Structure 1
Amino acid sequence: MNNLTFNISDFVLHCMITPDQRTLAIASLVFIYLASFFGNLLVLLVIKLNEQLHTPMYIFISTLAVIDLANSTILIPKMLADIQFDSSSVPYAACMLQMYVILNLEEMESILMIFMALDRYVAVLYPLQYPSIITMKFAWAVVLLLPVITFLLNTSFVIFASELSFCQTNILPYCYCDYATMVSVACNKDPKYLSLLTNNTTVFGLVAFALILFSYARIVLAALKITSADGKKKALSTTFTHLLVVGFFYFPFLTFFNTCVTHLIVLGLAYIPLLATYILPGTGVNMTTEVYNTMIIVGNVVPPMMNPVIYSFRNKEIKSQIYVIFTGKKNIPETLQQ
């Protein structure tokens, strides 16, 4: 049977977590999921309740929270079940669907970050034109088009995945249905299958990241020319906050400190490995299953937990609204207004 193709009705997911690592892995994932779920839910609630936050920038922030909620909910509960029971069976169609949705969510977040960078770019460099360029209609158009664009672009992944034949095993050594893992265990050796992933990641990863860096480099240069100390501080603060979010999205491995230099270091060092997990397999570079699983899992589950903390809870307006929700007091302490 090793040289014959057989039709499969399901995949078996195997997380490659040893028994002595199981307790720590489950506890970590539960903590990450709860922090991500309630953190992003709180961001959405705050923005919904405060009409002053109904602006394009907060539309983007709330969209990011929705994407993070969906990403965590689709991934983590299934991972917990796989780890607890060592492996689990997933119907073929359900596995394809999960793979497709995860790819879409990752690309939606990458594209959204470009528009968030554009929002800050126009706000700092063209403040007078900002209200006419970044309108509510523009923000909602971006939000509504995100799923349409990504779902259409990623249809090719479903087509290619459906062409894969499995003549040796239907076991995926991974915690969820992942396109690259499917290709690695399939019998098809055509390089087009991994080339698709490499090309897609280059466009939505490297090119997107380069555009974000370019826009924020221009913002920093413009901010340094601002004569007002408060204006300069505000421009630089929002810039480095967004850069930190981008860093954790592309490669969220290092802990961070609340300084501009550290933000840039985290961004530079954290970006490479997550993209490498998608690009290197297509170039013929092999990674061990443990390394690949660790990098891709952390890269998918940590950003949804960190984004509310980095991007929203450091925001003065959101912190003030959270204080009002939990205390019922409208007199905001000075410490929250700084």
Structure 2
Amino acid sequence: MNKSLSSVPEFVLQCFIDSGQWSYTIAALFLIYLISFTGNFLVVLVIIMNPQHQTPMFLYIATLAVVDLMNSTNLIPRMLAAMIYGPLSVSYGPCALQVHVEGHILVVETLLLSLMAVDRYVAVVYPLRYPSLVTNKTVLVSNVIAVIIITPLTILLTELIFCISNSLPSCFCDYPTMVQIACNDDPKFLTYLSTITVIFAFGPLLLILFSYIRITQAALQISSVEGKKKVFSTCLTHLLVVGTIYIPLFLSYMLPGLGIPLSIEAYNTLIIVGNTVPPMLNPIIYSFRNKEIKGSILKLLTGTKPRQEIKNY
């Protein structure tokens, strides 16, 4: 490769996975993508088709399903290609686009989880003010924020100089890995990433935890056993979704920071799990934990006409 180039025409993805688990990983990823695509598509479809689902909370769920669809489609096909065909060459433009889309998705997803927690907080603690405080416009705002936040990261990507290698030890185009193999020694490339990671990972998580603590306090004051059960059931659904998204990604970044070394194979495994399993589990969690969505999906699959139901949210 020409060492005078500040950028490269393509990157080579080296997807390091334990050779003994290679075939199982490929089969698992294919199954995950199939379940994720089908499940999230059904969730979006039933919410669009049923007028009783046209509320902010269901809009958040539908948007999360769309985000999960985009996330799976943005990552898994390229991962599978890198595993099946060996080292995979990806042009600079598509690689940079994948980085941008992935960053946008992660920001929107964390904001959505925060909005869903705040939605439940307002609904339980300030029910009379709910219509005036919670609107559908917040989803658009979250996408605007994501564009503003991720655009500088994309600009920083164009400033990276690859003078030694264009081989990425990753299963997809990953910004931290690109910085790792680049020849730039300016800390700004990781400083900005670390800053937005703290803000849009720990910030929303603290807001989510605060919201559910306040919801729990309010729920304990409800005299009706059925009312308490309904509130805790809804909260458990959302906390399960939060856990599936945060735990694998936290482990992949926190373990090295705690001095626990991870091999390239282990790191890639955690990153793959953290980015592909949550989009598969989210529609399953909502389908089983939310009676309205589960009922609407069953009616859609059996061909029966939807009827008006009492709302869970």
**Which TM-score applies when normalising by structure 1?**
0.85
Find the partner of 1:272 among 250, 253, 259: 250
Distance 1:274 1:159 in 2: 25
Alignment of 1:1-338 (within 5 A): 7-134=7-134, 138-139=135-136, 141-252=137-248, 272-276=250-254, 280=257, 287-329=262-304
CA contact (8 A) 1:251 1:275 kept: no
Deviations 1:272-318 (A, max 9, x none): 314538x94xx999643222211111111011000001124321111
How far has the Cα of 1:191 moved from its partner?
A: 1.9
- Do 1:117 and 1:216's aligned partners in 2 also have CA atoms closer than 8 Å? yes
1:35 deviates by: 0.5
The sequence identity of aligned pairs, in percent, is: 50
Shift of 1:158: 1.3
Structure 2 length normalisation: TM-score?
Answer: 0.92
Letter in 2 for 1:53: H
Distance in 2, Cα, partners of 1:2 & 1:105: 34
SS of the counterpart of 2:16? coil
Report the Cα distance in structure 2 between the residues aligned to 1:142 and 1:25, rounded to whole angstroms. 38
Residue 60 (structure 1) shift: 0.5
**SS of equivalent residue, structure 1 residue 176:** coil
Q: Secondary structure at the residue paired with 1:90?
A: strand
User: In the superposition, relative to structure 1, how do residues 275 and 163 fare at CA in structure 2: closer, same or farther (>3 Å)?
Assistant: same
Report the AA paired with residue 198 of structure 2.
T
- Note the residue ranges of structure 2 that are not aligned, 5 or more in a row: none
CA RMSD in angstroms comes to 2.4
**Most deviating of 219-228 and 145-154:** 145-154
Letter in structure 2 aligned against 1:304: P
- Look up the equivalent residue of 1:88 and give its one-letter code: L
Q: Is the Cα contact below 8 Å between 1:47 and 1:53 reproduced in 2?
A: yes
Deviations 1:43-90 (A, max 9, x none): 011111111111111000000000000000111011100100111111
Label 1:57 to 1:6 Cα distance change in 2 as closer, same or farther (>3 A).
Answer: closer
For 1:116 and 1:274, locate their aligned partners in 2 and report how far apart those are by CA, in whole Å: 25
Q: CA deviation digits over 1:159-209, x for unaligned, max 9?
A: 211111112100001011100000111111222211211111100001111
Relative contact order higher in (CA < 8 Å, ≥ 6 apart)? 2
Kept in 1, the 8 Å contact 2:99–2:173? The answer is yes
Unmatched runs of 5 consecutive residues or more in structure 1: 253-270
